[in-house]
Amino acid sequence: MIMGTVRRMSGVMVAGLAALAVTATLACGHRENAPAGAAAAKHSNKITIAMIAKSSTNPVFLAARTGAEAAAKELSARDSIDVEVQWLTPPEEDGQVQAQRIQQAVNGGADAILISCSDASKVTGAIDDAVNRGVVVMTFDSDAPQSKRFAYYGVDDMKTGQTTMAELAKLMDGKGKVAILAGNQNAPNLQKRVQGAKDEAAKYPGIQIVGTFNHIETPQDAAAEVTRVDNAYPGIQGWAMIGGWALFTRSLLSDLDPARMKIVSVDALPAQLAYVDKGITPVLLAQPVYKWGYVGVTTIVEKLHDGKQPPEIIPMDLVRVTKDNLGPWARQLKAWGFSDVPQQYLDMK
Amino acid sequence: MSRIRAVIRHLLGSQETGLSLVVLLLAVALTVLAGSHVDRRTGELVNNFLNSNTLIQTATDASFFAIMAIGATVVIISGGIDLSVGAIYALSGVSMALTLRAAGPLGSGAAVALGLVVALGVGLLCGVLNGALVVGLRVHPFIVTLGTMWVLRGVAFVITHAESLLVPSALTAVTKASLGLGGGLYPVPMVCMLVMTAAGAIYLTRTVMGRHIFAFGGNLEASRFAGLRLDRIQIGVYAVSGITAGLAAFLGASFYGSSSSADGQGYELYVIAAAVVGGASLIGGKGSAVGAMLGAILIVLIRQSIRTLHFDQNYEWIVIGCAIIIAVVVDQWSTRLAARRLMRAGARTQAAA
């Protein structure tokens, strides 16, 4: 009977133990500064910051992580404290999972949370719970303004949309058909940028918006959407891209004619630099994404360690990237940890 | 005495016992390896895993999947599959939020009752639609629910205009009630999960409909010859799946305070994975509500372990994927072994005769 019982149980047991083994293997190979046992007890000179960006598959948030870890290292050395950044970003955008990660961070003993909200209304309750339990929360990139977070660091999304369209209108001498590439239709920060772009376009009687086009936020989906729209609306002369996804591919380099088409795009990551060089995208409006992490961690440490009270809104300025400053910007990206910056741009003056 | 022995034998021999042991083992490992921190409120040293907040939070995270997994298990036992549960979750949640917004200010009780009725009602309608399409069109449920997955999410998107909709605080107050525990503990989703598991177990094992579902999934031809109303059973299982997705949506939207058309994306895979890890067989005729709940808890616990032990969380999908494949493969092996043992025993009996 015992053998029979063991046999019947063996399937699930082995499966579970195998999962445990896989987990344990990863523990050996990929454990990230894990505290162990009583040694994990918090000391007064240790600050643990849980960083929850929107998606760990988006390169801009990986740059933000690099910035956060650099700031943690610098501040640890400067102030003789131990600043640890725990990366708790979900693999895909999901407000509910972010709310769960906030709870996990609080239960795990984090002192602070640095978050870019996928869905502000979904995480506001969790942020408020965290603050009520003594954990300070700061937002970056995408805010939760109704929550108890103490500060927000990021661009003014409405202004970003306006600037994108204003730059495009300037390139097109204030006339022509344009389209707006808008990413995830559920993201409130992108909705604001689209509104800003539309408001700005209304100032130019010669500019006609043929449509606002959403897509799954992957480079391939974005580039495919641009191609589809270009085929469907042959008269389009300009694109206002309020996110840079489509230009993370190389396909549009050959598909778009710089003599016929002008693009102004938010973001200026390594893959986008070729579009500036070729003249398809004369202007990129870069968010210094590294600073999301760097400024975020610095602000939190200064609040917790030095008792400084920052302003509630810390504005991030866009950097205008053109052919004139392509070299310095490429070197800046390299310094921020981007490993795929083409050498030809690094060599530019 | 012999009855007690039979019950013990049954318990020891059940797949759920094995799964419970795995969950327990993982919990013990996490407790040992998790480390500790000083609690801000009490100043006491607390284990990073074995503390009431983390345990209830883990159960809460599992509850939404587990409730849906119970419905998915019912479908899988019947030999079907429902890929639209994530979309039903989103549509039920946003329908509830829109209805409550349109209804204007209501008393707490009325708001909760209306929200629950709408979420369950929309879930039920979607489930019946799935079942009716499977039966009426004679198309494989995989294709039908793949289609309705897109249709229902599209409807949710169109009716919300991509807005994230807040739900009244009365609903959040109910789902985040501390039930006397205090200290930021919210056990309501966990309690709902346990109640639904008990209800699912009774439905599957103690009702005529439940036995018919096993018969339908286990041997379709035999069920037909036995005169079972197959169409009704098939529509019924998708209705149950829809209702559980509606209930999970009510709990999720209320707990987190809002609902959007993007909610529940990819949840169908977690839900099916929970059912399969919990012992449901994709060829039908096998599965249990308790197994579905334990499967959901195990998957969430694996995700939790990655966080608690500070692993690089980019490995989460690899770990969960491996666990699911291993669970299914080993389960198939053990089923084949059991079948071979039965055949050998039969051959021995024949030889002896």
Give CA separation, B220 vs A335, B132, B137, B142, B233, in Å.
Answer: 65, 18, 18, 18, 11
Q: Is A6 on the interface with B (CB under 8 A)?
A: no
Q: How far apart are the C-alpha atoms of B28 and B50, rounded to whole Å?
A: 9
Tokens 């689209």 found at:
A194
Q: Residue B291: which CATH number?
A: 1.10.3470
Tokens 């961690």 found at:
A297
From chain A, the residues in CB contact with B14 under 8 A are 8
Query: Residue B125 domain-assigned?
Result: yes
From chain B, the residues in CB contact with A18 under 8 A are 322-323, 326, 330
Query: Residue B293 domain-assigned?
Result: yes
Contact B123, B247 (CB under 8 A): yes
Contact A242, A220 (CB under 8 A): no
Contact criterion met (CB < 8 Å) for B309 and A191: no
Buried b (16+ CB within 10 A) or exposed e, B73-112: bbbbbbbbbbbbbbbbbbbbbbbbbbbbeeeeeeeeeebb
Superfamily of domain A43-155+289-316: Response regulator (3.40.50.2300)
Query: Residue B229 domain-assigned?
Result: yes
**Sequential pLDDT tens for chain B (353 residues):** 677 777 776 666 677 888 888 889 989 999 999 888 887 777 888 888 888 888 998 999 899 999 999 999 999 999 999 999 999 999 999 999 999 999 988 999 999 999 999 999 999 999 999 999 999 999 999 999 999 999 999 999 899 877 778 899 899 999 999 888 876 789 999 999 999 999 999 999 999 999 999 999 988 888 888 888 899 999 999 999 999 999 999 999 999 888 888 889 889 999 999 999 898 988 899 999 999 999 999 999 988 888 778 777 677 788 888 877 887 777 677 777 777 887 888 888 888 87
Residues of chain A with CATH 3.40.50.2300: 43-155+289-316, 157-286+320-346
Q: List the domain range (segments joined by +) for residue B259.
A: 56-334
Closest partner residue to B38 (CB to CB) among A15, A41, A56 is A41
Count of pairs with CB atoms under 8 A, one residue in A, one in B: 235
Query: Residue B276 domain-assigned?
Result: yes
Mutation site, A56, A122, A147, A194, interface B, largest B CB count within 10 A: A122
- Which string of DSSP letters, residue by residue, matches A56-98? TT-HHHHHHHHHHHHHHHHHHHHHT-EEEEEE---SS--HHHH
CATH number for the region A157-286+320-346 comes to: 3.40.50.2300
Q: Is B331 on the interface with A (CB under 8 A)?
A: yes
pLDDT digits (tens, 9 = 90+) for A144-180: 999 999 999 999 999 999 999 999 999 999 999 999 9
Tokens 């999304």 found at:
A157
Query: Residue B132 domain-assigned?
Result: yes
ipTM here? 0.70
Contact criterion met (CB < 8 Å) for A121 and B331: no
From chain A, the residues in CB contact with B25 under 8 A are 16-17, 20
Q: Exposed/middle/buried for A27, CB within 10 Å: 0-12, 13-18, 19+? A: middle
Task: Read off the pTM.
Answer: 0.78
Q: How far apart are the C-alpha atoms of B330 and A13, rounded to whole Å?
A: 9
pLDDT reading at A10 higher than 70 = no
Q: Is B174 on the interface with A (CB under 8 A)?
A: no
Kind of pairing, strands B165-166 and B258-259? antiparallel
pLDDT digits (tens, 9 = 90+) for A262-273: 999 999 988 899
What is the tally of structural domains in chain B? 1
Nearest CA in chain A to B333: A11
DSSP-assigned letter for residue A260: T
pLDDT digits (tens, 9 = 90+) for A61-94: 888 999 999 999 999 999 889 999 999 998 788 8
Contact B51, B183 (CB under 8 A): no
pLDDT reading at A30 higher than 70 = no
Structure tokens at B52: 């009431």
Question: Cβ–Cβ contacts within 10 Å for residue B4, how many?
Answer: 8
Contact B303, B316 (CB under 8 A): yes
